[in-house]
């Protein structure tokens, strides 16, 4: 099983989801990517993952979508509908592999909002881990 999480910058939502799922399900191949990976991994994301003892699963640098590799994933989790659109623009045949979680981008928002987003991601990842 190969799972890809996709967000905008690959700086918070998708790498957090990747790290949490790697911790919960080491038997699954998990990765993350951004539609526009131009910023470093969020320090807040690092703090939250450290709190969950999952920081060691966090990637060092954001990466972009690789259209060639998109077809290799069994499941692609888009954080917002626009991320689904970005995946489909690169690889239309992936439509049946994509789910959208509708999780807001906390990167430029106050810390309280980031905490809420982290809890949402954590809950969704636990549900996903149990279902795979």
- At 99-132, the pLDDT tens digits run 999 999 887 677 678 888 999 999 999 999 999 9
pLDDT, one tens digit per residue, over 60-74 is 899 999 888 899 999
β-sheet bridge partners, residue 32: 5
User: Which is more confidently placed, 109 or 57?
Assistant: 57
Could you report the per-residue pLDDT of 90-100, keeping only the tens digit for each? 999 999 999 99
**pLDDT tens-digit series, residues 10-36:** 999 999 999 999 999 999 999 999 999
What does the alpha-carbon distance between residue 103 and residue 95 come to, in Å, rounded to a whole number?
19
Which residue(s) pair with 5 in the sheet? 32, 77
* Choices 3.30.200.20, 3.40.50.2300, 3.40.190.10, 3.40.50.170: CATH for 2-131: 3.40.50.2300
Q: For residue 3, give the 3-state DSSP assignment.
A: strand
Look up residue 75 and give its two tokens: 């499941």
The domain locations on the chain are 2-131
According to the model, what pLDDT value does residue 111 have? Answer: 67
């Amino acid at each position: 099983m190969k799972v890809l999480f996709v967000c905008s910058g690959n700086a918070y939502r998708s790498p957090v989801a990747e790290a949490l799922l790697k911790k919960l399900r080491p038997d699954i191949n998990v990765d993350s990517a951004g539609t526009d990976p131009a910023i470093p991994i969020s320090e807040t994301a690092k703090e939250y993952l450290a709190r969950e003892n999952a920081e060691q699963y966090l990637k060092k640098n954001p990466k972009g979508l690789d259209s060639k590799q998109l077809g290799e994933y069994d499941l692609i989790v888009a954080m917002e509908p626009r991320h689904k659109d970005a995946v489909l623009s690169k690889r239309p045949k992936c439509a049946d592999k994509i789910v959208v979680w509708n999780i807001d981008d906390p990167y430029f928002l106050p810390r309280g909002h980031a905490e809420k987003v982290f809890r949402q991601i954590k809950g969704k990842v636990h549900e996903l881990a149990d279902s795979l």
